[in-house]
A and B are shown apart, each in its own frame.
Chain A
Amino acid sequence: MMTLDPKIPAGPLETKWDRHRFSEKLVSPNNKRNITVIVVGTGLAGASAASTLGQLGYQVACFCFQDSPRRAHSIAAQGGINAAKNYQDDGDSVTRLFYDTIKGGDFRSREANVYRLAQVSAHIIDQCVALGVPFAREYGGQLANRSFGGVQVSRTFYCRGQTGQQLLLGAYSALCWQIERGQVTMHPRTEMLDLIVVDGQARGIVVRDLVTGRVGIHTAHAVVLATGGYSNVYYLSTNASGSNVTATFRAWKQGAAFANPCFMQIHPTAIPPGDEHQAKLTLMSESLRNDGRLWVPKMAADHRLPGDIPAEERDYFLERRYPRFGNLAPRDIASRAVKTVCDEGHGVGPGGQGVYLDFADVIERQGQDVVLERYGNLFDMYNRITGEDAYHVPMRIYPAPHYTMGGLWVDYNLMSTIPGLFVIGEANFADHGANRLGASSLMQGLADGYFILPYTIGHYLATAKLSPVGEDHKESRAALQRVTGRISRLLNAKGRRTAASFHREVGKLLWDHCGMSRNKAGLELALRSIPALREEFWSGEAFNQELEYAGRVADYLEFAELLCHDALHREESCGAHFREEHQTADGEPKRDDTCFAHVAAWEYRENALPILHKESLVFEFVQPTMRSYQ
């Protein structure tokens, strides 16, 4: 029977982490060299964890599917990283960052975790500066900040529009040092396909070399997953095409609880989907909403050119529905409003999937030069992709799956329900609740990897009883057999459909019924349709030349079901999760703190429905309030 013990230290919020660190056992320096830790994934969380563990003296085996650890998808984050430095003296503090994050997550995250995140945020900036990250600076030489994501202080540190890249290259350079020192062994182009669990403890992984196709076993004293999110289950998302759910999903099947899978962030400003060949959705920076106005024609199915539609026949729907925040309403609210007007037939562009983001007013008011200076690179990017000139024709945008707040359940020590399996970064569920604020994902990835996991894993390694486990252990062989059996089933399929066509179909099913808004009937329809699709996939209808992709699609076909179960169970609207049954008369979400102030952690069962376990969220220090942006 699975039990969820979040292991939150008792006592005052402000000193929980300090006291916890002191009470944790340490591994003696001489013993560290005899301990091996596996780290899967080399984004911000994985690279920072692997390099720090190497520096501490552990032997680290680090894996990524890319050809180099520097290419993990953290590299694509644009905007910035939050930290409670209060360099601007505008009233920021650890407590304020903590509160903003809890509230932004619509009161569905743990107080203790979020407070710790806010506490270590300032150290992250210092650490990155020490590693040579070229943050933007003021003329006087001090670190510059920008404001972001609707909060009232300016706490976001940035490197132009390439903050994720620079933070990742910083962590990668630290990793390079540890590789050179022999503390970290790097395995690029290697994909994790299963978890080895011995006596209830995570002791290794089964991997496939993506060049030779060889399947192999790696054993260790503990396993860290830093494998990112699962937005690609929707087929079209802003994620890199290689990002996938396989590592966390296989760990789920070995006994790690999966928490809040239905909490899925959909970003409002991406370039709309075009034809069916489209492989990804490109994000346009959220900053565009500072000056652009969103509108659609008031008349449904109006095919006139935007310039031919007079002002009184336009619906500036965000300004109309949310007069106080207007075009700057938070991500989840803005995305849903876009979907609503498009569903009502007012959408523009191919398939009616798009709304205008119009800069005509600001160009008239301040001149094209000002807009060029502020957003020139974004207008260029838009032009390159769509062939349209947004200085003269309004941009078209549409929401896109972007980030997953859900992930494997972890306790305060970032350990999953399988002892010895730690989960960090986007791959865990911990800190963002039902909605993540802008510039918080980079903060969380590096907090976990540099400053939290290296402490908490030490306590586990110092106290756990770990018998020797090698490649020949029966559990290692069993895991290897699971993998090889599955691969041969995939290779033997000789159907007519490509894996991509299944992926597109399951993605569309989820987007339609478990996307920006959900209802019981739609979720039940999806839950009926997914098994049939999976059946077709495995009955040999798939044509699986591209083995690793087919394997990932196979996992999406199962994972999609878990996502829908979670969305169906959560009979409330909170953050990014909007259930149509639970809204006010004017379409605002209704949260239910009496019945749903819990983390939903799902346990895998073979050939049966997953079992729901609940971790109650206790709010000792903040009072949950209703989010209103009207």
Chain B
Amino acid sequence: MNFTLKIWRQKGPDEKGRFVTYEAHDVGSGMSFLEMLDSVNQGLVTKGEEPVAFEQDCREGICGSCSLVINGIPHGPDRGISTCQLYMRRFYDGAVITVEPWRARAFPIIKDLVVDRRALDRIMQAGGYISVNTGGAVDGNVLLIGKDQAEAAMDAASCIGCGACVAACKNASAMLFVAAKVSHLAILPQGKPERTPRVRAMLEAMDREGFGSCGNQYECEAVCPKSISVRFIANLNREYVRAGVVESGLPAEPESPHAESA
């Protein structure tokens, strides 16, 4: 197969970027999208040109490194996968394919298709954890967690932190990312003691980093490689409202904490 690639090239954060056209020849239909880019790069290297910088590592859809907007869609045309899980048989022979980086104010471009996603780490540092010391944890079965509850927490926790949700959103909002983490910990009894400060701190960090607000258009869910549901955004909003109520001095926990975790 042969393809024409229009790839975003940008030397550095403050440089002006532009699309450059490359031809990819003799591409096997069984090659992954990233292997196709590898071979384009090998060609550039042997010609003495600078290879196209892009992120990748595990190449099995779990590390969250790869981050390409392909024909306008983060992670390409298929649902529920990341870029590294996309194969060339998905495209027509002779197709023209545009490749761009994630575009968001909070994700400055480092080079070509590589962006700086440390803003997501800083949101996590603001409160995406349970502050528990190593050692002295009680037996894992002391906390009984219903199967449904554990599954719901796992649905949220499966986020790979790639940032496609931000790239897909016209407001460049990180709501789905924050919602996934807040919900994962708020659903579990271990996360309850800190749930009020956590949701506030993480949302404040999100605003501080320059992410936009949610426009309820659900593009984030559509491109999420783990198909994380926007229901978690509704849950995040509930957590946030609840935090406000708690802070205003009304009773903190109307229900017994035991009833909730059962």
Q: A residues near B, CB below 8 A?
A: 48, 51-52, 55, 66-71, 73, 75-76, 85, 87, 123, 125-132, 134-143, 159-160, 162, 164-166, 169, 172-174, 176-177, 179-180, 186, 188, 211, 240-242, 274-275, 277-280, 282-283, 381, 384-387, 450-451, 454, 496, 498, 500, 543, 545-546
Docked CA distance A67–B60 (Å): 17
Q: Is the CB of B144 within 8 A of A67?
A: no
Q: Is the CB of A240 within 8 A of B58?
A: yes
Partner of B85, one of A125, A126, A283, A384: A384
CB distance from B115 to the nearest CB of A (A): 9
CB-contacts of B97-133 with A (<8 A): 110-111, 116-118, 120-121, 124-126, 128-133
Q: Is the CB of B65 within 8 A of A67?
A: yes
29 A-B residue pairs with Cβ-Cβ distance under 8 Å, sorted by A, are A51-B134, A52-B134, A66-B57, A68-B121, A73-B57, A132-B153, A132-B184, A135-B150, A136-B154, A137-B147, A140-B144, A141-B144, A142-B141, A143-B141, A165-B160, A173-B124, A176-B128, A180-B125, A240-B57, A277-B28, A277-B35, A278-B35, A280-B60, A384-B87, A385-B30, A387-B29, A500-B38, A545-B45, A545-B51
Chain A residue numbers with a CB within 8 Å of B133 are: 55
Q: Is the CB of B116 within 8 A of A67?
A: yes
Q: Check A134/B57 contact, CB under 8 A, given A67-B116, A176-B125, A177-B129.
A: no
CB distance from B29 to the nearest CB of A (A): 7
Q: Check A241/B57 contact, CB under 8 A, given A142-B141, A386-B30.
A: yes
Docked CA distance A85–B140 (Å): 10
Q: Is the CB of A130 within 8 A of B57?
A: no
Q: Check A279/B190 contact, CB under 8 A, given A68-B118, A159-B154.
A: no
Docked CA distance A172–B63 (Å): 13
Taking A68-B121, A141-B147, A279-B34 as given, write out 11 further A-B residue pairs in contact, using a Cβ cutoff of 8 Å, ordered by the A residue number. A55-B133, A71-B57, A129-B140, A130-B138, A132-B153, A134-B153, A173-B129, A241-B59, A279-B32, A545-B48, A545-B50
Docked CA distance A165–B162 (Å): 13
Q: Check A162/B62 contact, CB under 8 A, given A132-B188, A500-B42.
A: yes
Chain B residue numbers with a CB within 8 Å of A87 are: 141
Q: Is the CB of B190 within 8 A of A498?
A: no
CB distance from A39 to the nearest CB of B (A): 14
The answer to the question of B229 belonging to the interface, with a C-beta cut-off of 8 Å to chain A, is no
CB-contacts of B210-249 with A (<8 A): none
Q: Is the CB of A70 within 8 A of B35?
A: no
The answer to the question of B2 belonging to the interface, with a C-beta cut-off of 8 Å to chain A, is no
Most chain A CB neighbours (cut-off 10 Å) among B34, B45, B118: B45
Partner of A177, one of B56, B131, B158: B131
Q: Is the CB of A279 within 8 A of B125?
A: no
Chain B residue numbers with a CB within 8 Å of A165 are: 62, 158, 160
Q: Is the CB of A176 within 8 A of B129?
A: yes
Chain B residue numbers with a CB within 8 Å of A76 are: 58, 60, 62-63
Q: With CB as the reference atom, state the residue of chain A lying closest to B57.
A: A240
Docked CA distance A173–B134 (Å): 12
Chain B residue numbers with a CB within 8 Å of A387 are: 29-30, 87, 89
Docked CA distance A135–B143 (Å): 12
Q: B residues near A, CB below 8 A?
A: 28-32, 34-36, 38-39, 42, 45-46, 48, 50-51, 55-60, 62-65, 81, 85, 87, 89, 110-111, 116-118, 120-121, 124-126, 128-135, 137-141, 143-147, 149-150, 153-154, 157-158, 160-161, 184-185, 188, 190-191, 262
Docked CA distance A135–B60 (Å): 22
Q: Is the CB of B130 within 8 A of A173?
A: yes
Q: With CB as the reference atom, state the residue of chain A lying closest to B36.
A: A277
6 tightest A-B CB contacts, nearest first: A141-B144, A173-B129, A130-B137, A129-B140, A134-B153, A126-B137
Q: Is the CB of B134 within 8 A of A451?
A: yes
Q: With CB as the reference atom, state the residue of chain B lying closest to A387.
A: B89
Docked CA distance A198–B146 (Å): 55
Chain A residue numbers with a CB within 8 Å of B161 are: 68, 70-71
Q: Is the CB of B128 within 8 A of A67?
A: no
Docked CA distance A381–B121 (Å): 29
Chain A residue numbers with a CB within 8 Å of B89 are: 387
Q: With CB as the reference atom, state the residue of chain A lying closest to B30.
A: A274
Docked CA distance A400–B134 (Å): 36
Q: With CB as the reference atom, state the residue of chain B lying closest to A52.
A: B134
Q: With CB as the reference atom, state the residue of chain A lying closest to B139.
A: A126
CB distance from A79 to the nearest CB of B (A): 13
Q: With CB as the reference atom, state the residue of chain B lying closest to A72.
A: B63
Partner of B42, one of A131, A450, A498: A498
Q: Is the CB of B45 within 8 A of A166?
A: no
Docked CA distance A546–B111 (Å): 14
Q: Is the CB of B35 within 8 A of A279?
A: yes
Partner of A139, one of B48, B81, B147: B147
Chain A residue numbers with a CB within 8 Å of B36 are: 277
Most chain B CB neighbours (cut-off 10 Å) among A70, A135, A137, A241: A137
Chain B residue numbers with a CB within 8 Å of A450 are: 134-135
Docked CA distance A134–B148 (Å): 11
CB distance from A380 to the nearest CB of B (A): 9
Partner of A136, one of B48, B146, B150: B150
Docked CA distance A297–B137 (Å): 54
Chain A residue numbers with a CB within 8 Å of B56 are: 241
Docked CA distance A283–B48 (Å): 35
Chain B residue numbers with a CB within 8 Å of A500 are: 38, 42
CB distance from A275 to the nearest CB of B (A): 5
Most chain B CB neighbours (cut-off 10 Å) among A129, A385, A450: A129
Q: Is the CB of B51 within 8 A of A129?
A: no
Q: With CB as the reference atom, state the residue of chain A lying closest to B49.
A: A545
Docked CA distance A169–B128 (Å): 10
Chain B residue numbers with a CB within 8 Å of A123 are: 135, 137
Chain B residue numbers with a CB within 8 Å of A142 are: 141, 144
Docked CA distance A275–B124 (Å): 40
Chain B residue numbers with a CB within 8 Å of A386 are: 30
Q: Is the CB of A130 within 8 A of B130?
A: yes
Q: Is the CB of B143 within 8 A of A129?
A: yes
Chain B residue numbers with a CB within 8 Å of A451 are: 134-135
Q: Is the CB of B64 within 8 A of A543?
A: no
Q: Is the CB of A454 within 8 A of B45?
A: no
Docked CA distance A87–B142 (Å): 12
CB distance from A258 to the nearest CB of B (A): 25
Q: Is the CB of B138 within 8 A of A188?
A: no
CB distance from B91 to the nearest CB of A (A): 13
Q: Is the CB of A543 within 8 A of B46?
A: yes
Q: With CB as the reference atom, state the residue of chain B lying closest to A501.
A: B42
Q: With CB as the reference atom, state the residue of chain B lying closest to A73.
A: B58
Q: Is the CB of A67 within 8 A of B117?
A: yes
Docked CA distance A165–B65 (Å): 13
CB distance from B66 to the nearest CB of A (A): 10
Q: With CB as the reference atom, state the residue of chain B lying closest to A242.
A: B57
Q: With CB as the reference atom, state the residue of chain B lying closest to A454.
A: B134
Chain A residue numbers with a CB within 8 Å of B135 are: 123, 127, 450-451
Chain B residue numbers with a CB within 8 Å of A174 are: 129, 132, 134
CB distance from B175 to the nearest CB of A (A): 19
Q: Is the CB of B125 within 8 A of A179?
A: yes
Partner of B58, one of A75, A130, A498: A75
Q: Is the CB of B118 within 8 A of A134?
A: no
CB distance from B164 to the nearest CB of A (A): 15
Chain B residue numbers with a CB within 8 Å of A186 are: 121
Q: Is the CB of B150 within 8 A of A137?
A: yes
Docked CA distance A162–B185 (Å): 17
Q: With CB as the reference atom, state the residue of chain A lying closest to B191.
A: A132
Docked CA distance A179–B63 (Å): 21
Q: With CB as the reference atom, state the residue of chain A lying closest to B156.
A: A134
Docked CA distance A132–B62 (Å): 19
Chain A residue numbers with a CB within 8 Å of B42 are: 498, 500
Q: Check A162/B45 contact, CB under 8 A, given A132-B184, A134-B150, A143-B141.
A: no
